[in-house]
Chains A and B, each alone.
Chain A
């Protein structure tokens, strides 16, 4: 069974600073994907970034980067130059490589950006 652990229920960061949101995962399947989603207070889930288990380089998307450490089974999200609009709930998710594979989500981390 797959499991995602997000150990930080809430985080604070000063505007313009970088912040790291932790995510560890557990699976015995060698082929899997890791995802991060953002959920603002309005409720919609927004996809941020994807990392495949065989990808050699860490994924980056604008101000978002994924610090992928396969041996440690961690997939931390790094947000650089935080903005007030980054205040939201962030979810880490994993899916193993089956065609109809279901995703497993963590409990989420609430990020608050302070002005």
Chain B
């Protein structure tokens, strides 16, 4: 069974703090993704990575950065958290190729106060 884990289910941070969200997958997938999910807006892609040390901006990268030093781990960084970054954050991974579905982690609900 593919497993994608995220470091926290719930996180509360203060405005201006640096926040790290960690994602680890155990199936040797090349591709990893970070999404945020807000009511009525579906899933929006923040960043993705198709190889170690490679990263690509998604649709809403502003205010975020990522790090992929090892194949199994993909970190999302909020350099200076703001209240409009309060959201559910979902990590996903998949092999390369069109027909493969994404495997999602359980999500991190981040609240910035």
Contacts and interface: CB of A to CB of B under 8 A. Distances in A.
B107 A102 contact: no
B98 A102 contact: no
Given A103-B45, A105-B43, A107-B42, A33 B98 contact: yes
B63 interface: no
Contacts of B33: 102-103
Interface residues of B, number: 26
Interface string A40-78: 000111010010100000000000000000000000000
A41 to B, nearest CB: 12
B101 A105 contact: no
Interface in B11-49: 31, 33, 35, 40-45, 48
Interface string A61-100: 0000000000000000000000000000001010101011
B42 A105 contact: yes
Given A99-B50, A99-B96, A100-B50, A43 B88 contact: yes
B101 A50 contact: yes
Contacts of A32: 98
A44 B107 contact: yes
A107 B45 contact: no
Interface string B48-66: 1010000010100000000
Contacts of A102: 33, 45, 48, 56, 58
Contacts of A43: 88, 106-107
Interface of A: 4, 9, 31-33, 35, 37, 43-45, 47, 50, 52, 91, 93, 95, 97, 99-103, 105-108
